[in-house]
A and B are shown apart, each in its own frame.
Chain A
Amino acid sequence: MMSSEAVAAPLKQKAGLEDVRELFAQRSEEIWPALRAATQAASDFSEVLALANLRKKALKAGISGGIDKTIRLAMIGGSNLYPLHELVQQKIGARSATGWWETEIWKGDYDNYIAEIFDPESELYIFKPEVIFLIPSNQRCVYQGALTDGPELQKVAATKMAEELLNLCRIAHERSGAEVIVANFLPAAEFDPGSFRVRTLGSNWNFRKLVNMELGLNAPSYVHVCDAEFLATRRGAATCHDPRAWFETKQLYSSDFAVDIAQEVAAIAASLHRPSKKVLALDLDNTLWGGVIGDDGMAGIEIGGTHARGEAFRQFQLAIASLAQRGVVLAVCSKNDYKNAAEPFEKHPEMVLRLKDIASFQANWEPKSENLRRIAQELNLGLDSIVFVDDNPAEIEIVKQFVPEIETIWLGPDPSEYASQLLDCRFFEPRSITTDDLKRGEQYQQQAARAQAMNASETDMDSYLASLEMHSVISEFTEVDVPRISQLINKSNQFNVTTRRRTEAEVEALLTDSDHYAFSVRLADKFGDNGLISVVIVKVEGATAVVDTWLMSCRVLKRQMEDEVVNEIVRLAGKRSCTTVLGNYLPTEKNGMVRDLFPRMGFELVEESTERTTYQLSIENFTPHKTHIQMDRRAYDTN
């Protein structure tokens, strides 16, 4: 179990039942964020119940930091509402952003909902619910006539059934003022009457589909359909029924399906209290396209075309475009030079998204948390209206830590899943689509054009870096690393101070060259091993050590790796009895990001021209830079 302050935040995000148990045993206030995370993630009936039990125990034990809102919910229906109400209560509670939404629940009697709605004096109304959740009797949703009846007759029966249900909703709403959530009917999952089921509206399968359709298409704005038909189809209808539970205790849903229903009701209830998100902020490299634009260039990135991966990225962009069309505002938040980042949007023929689609475009080398703040400022929207998407878990982590108001989607390693992940994220669900929604994208773009003065506020980068638990190994060049080193030397464009290319044979020669020292750097953090990420070659010229090559993967930028590299260059220069380190910056189209690298690392300017800037560092006056990286090994160390 992790316990230090620095890693508390990641723990919250991944908490499960065991963590919540542990936090309860400690009587820790951290139990509330852990409960929220574990409850939202839980899909197993017993797990949700166990979490509900822990919540009750925590309240009873007086662990503070809990309830920040109370919702009054009445549940009525044609089945036993226990223990469904426990699941609903638990799932709604976890929707709070900062504490816990406690749901005060009143449950109607088994199959008494019609009387409860029609009787103006009933306890339903005395309870004064804010929300009513109605689960009508599934058993009654059956066509009474024959399968061979005329379709008109069958259609009338279905329409009437939907009308009656909507009428109940109307009365309940008018008498209580409550919003009404109504579950529609479960799809029939038995084969009977065989293929004939599709030829008649009288089969349970078709009849219920029609009733559900009529219900949804005619529902007024105060009625919210909990789409049991869709949820059951998604899960597999046969697994949603449980006849034994019906006979024994009048449960309508199988236990795990009851969790799906509870989750959905909670989503609807939360949407009544919280608006949906407005902005989708997107990473670029390996998110919108495959590869790194700064290194691979326009011809090298994977988007569209005839390749499977390129197709997957294009499909993701199409999904994004479909949200934009509905009024979701798009922003870019990427670690890149602006020029590199914008180029595919302007010129790549396979890109779906173009610059005009992006309301706020932040491509630079600042932390993403800062850039997301800028996006919020430019668009004049709250941070809590933004959803941030990235393929890199470390970036997701930094955003969660520093701007917890922002929701995040971690895309994971397989681009084929990106589009469905976005379409399943549930952050951008409209309650109704208006023409205003459709215009919103344009409006925000104008807003962004106006807001140009931005103040970057400082984040506590230090504690983030500490929480990453970084470890590094620096090694002199070795035989086995030669291919990877050569690859980096010939591919890296952005973080590359001299952009000197070398063949594999030339790299190999450095292994035994006494005029040079050369090393490679590996970096691992708690999310995994980043592999070989930096290469340095230094030429010793008498008392001067000249940095011939220094390149680094942009993935690990601003992790203090630069500082450790300088420490190592200086340390090894000292061992070679050098007194000065000389560094050259040779500008190219792509390496603008390291223009200031040497001065930032404490080097002094010697001379400057258009093709070369030279810096130097006196070893005598050098104090090694302090970092949060634990150095497990250094180069040319024999132990």
Chain B
Amino acid sequence: MTQTEILAKMQTVFDDVFLDDVKVAPELSAKDVEEWDSLLQISLVLGVEKAFNVRFRVGEVEATKNLGEFADLIQRRMNEGAKA
């Protein structure tokens, strides 16, 4: 999957979690969206894990700076799954 494809799929997760419409983009991060607090982040990460069938390691989502990096992380974990 390309980063663009991953971001498009992330959009469906965002639509289920955010009350207001949030447009997924590589530069977007939590500080850009009022509703996106540390609690909502929990639902978001779990939703992403379900949607992509991946499992992140402790602390690594927190270390991503924006959705672009998050998408790259998803990509890495997906590749890993494919090899296993």
Contacts and interface: CB of A to CB of B under 8 A. Distances in A.
Interface stretch (A242-250, A268-276, A534-542, A631-639): A242-250
A267 to B, nearest CB: 23
Interface stretch (A41-49, A347-355, A399-407, A522-530): A41-49
Interface magnitude class on chain A: 10 to 19
A53 B44 CA distance: 12
Contacts of A49: 16-17, 43, 47
B43 A56 contact: no
Interface in A76-95: 82-83, 86
Given A49-B17, A57-B19, A83 B57 contact: no
Contacts of A243: 58
B16 A50 contact: yes
Given A46-B47, A244-B58, A82 B16 contact: no
Nearest to A248: B58
Contact of B43 (A57, A83, A247): A83
A248 B62 contact: yes
Contacts of A44: 50
A46 B42 contact: no
Nearest to B50: A46
A336 interface: no
The prevalent SS among residues of B at the interface is helix
A251 interface: yes
B19 A53 contact: yes
Interface string A240-268: 00011001110100010000000000000
A251 B42 contact: yes
Contacts of B58: 243-244, 247-248
A49 B16 CA distance: 7
Contacts of A53: 16-19
A45 B16 CA distance: 12
Given A82-B39, A249-B42, A60 B19 contact: yes
B46 interface: yes
B42 A82 contact: yes
A464 to B, nearest CB: 36
Contacts of A50: 16-17
Given A244-B57, A244-B58, A248-B58, A56 B19 contact: yes
B32 to A, nearest CB: 20
A388 to B, nearest CB: 35
Given A49-B16, A83-B39, A248-B58, 5 more contacts: A46-B46, A46-B47, A60-B19, A243-B58, A247-B58
29 contacts: A45-B46, A45-B50, A46-B13, A46-B16, A46-B43, A46-B46, A46-B50, A46-B51, A49-B17, A49-B43, A49-B47, A50-B16, A50-B17, A53-B16, A53-B17, A53-B18, A57-B19, A60-B19, A83-B39, A83-B42, A83-B43, A86-B43, A243-B58, A244-B57, A244-B58, A248-B58, A249-B38, A249-B42, A251-B42
Interface of B: 13, 16-19, 38-39, 42-43, 46-47, 50-51, 56-59, 62
Across the A-B interface, the 8 shortest Cβ-Cβ residue pairs: A50-B16, A82-B39, A46-B50, A244-B58, A46-B47, A255-B46, A83-B43, A249-B42
